[in-house]
Homo-oligomer: A and B are copies of this chain.
């Protein structure tokens, strides 16, 4: 079972990036979605595919277990974990809180470079909505949230946020839900609202607006991207 480790499309680009951390490459493999939950991830197979020994593969898998993406059953094997609907809901709750916090912290900082970046981002998003360019939009959404987290100027918050997003495989979820025509415009309006509240240094308002926004998009994503699996 499970003859080839990876699909052809990723094999094409795996020629020159050898300094990229093995951990990230294996994580992308797991998040890539080619594996259904329960699939075995053999140390040996992965080592052969990535042309390294079992030791670094093992270290990476151990980390992925801590991140919650795989499950290592001692002396049995390593398997792609099933992420339950409940877990995704919990992650969105944490996401809502962390991003709300980030908006609040950024608002109290006054005029900083990230604010200009945010304004540029929202304006680009509005253009993307007009052109109905959902690919560009998905990328801009990602940047919007990253910019606010960076603008919070709290590195620990940023670390927790990054960990969370890795577990959520958020980008993949968004790509599917962003297709909804109505949601695109609504989401952008919410972005602008958050931006304006931050610009007005209204920390509490920005936090609430951000939480509302996260929750709206969570609802949207949970609707059609996350199957009822338990």
Contact = CB atoms under 8 A, between A and B. Distances in A.
Specify the main secondary structure of chain A where it touches its partner. Answer: helix
B62 A93 contact: no
Contacts of A66: 63, 66
B87 A105 contact: no
A39 B94 CA distance: 35
A156 B59 contact: no
Interface in A76-112: 87, 90-91, 93-94, 97-98, 101, 105
A93 B101 CA distance: 9
Given A97-B97, A97-B101, A90 B55 contact: no
A56 to B, nearest CB: 10
Contact of A62 (B59, B68, B94, B164): B59
Contact of A157 (B58, B62, B90, B101): B90
A197 to B, nearest CB: 18
Interface in A113-167: 154-157, 159-160, 163-164, 167
How often does this chain occur in the complex, in copies? 2
Contacts of A101: 93-94, 97
Contacts of A91: 156
B105 A157 contact: no
Nearest to A154: B90
A62 B58 CA distance: 12
Interface in A4-25: none
A98 B68 CA distance: 19
Given A59-B62, A66-B63, A160 B94 contact: yes
A59 B160 CA distance: 21
Contacts of A93: 101, 105, 154, 156-157
Nearest to A92: B156
Contacts of A59: 58-59, 62
Which 8 interchain pairs have the tightest Cβ spacing? A90-B156, A97-B101, A90-B154, A94-B156, A91-B156, A160-B160, A94-B157, A93-B154
A47 to B, nearest CB: 15
Nearest to A160: B160
Interface in A43-78: 55, 58-59, 62-63, 66, 68
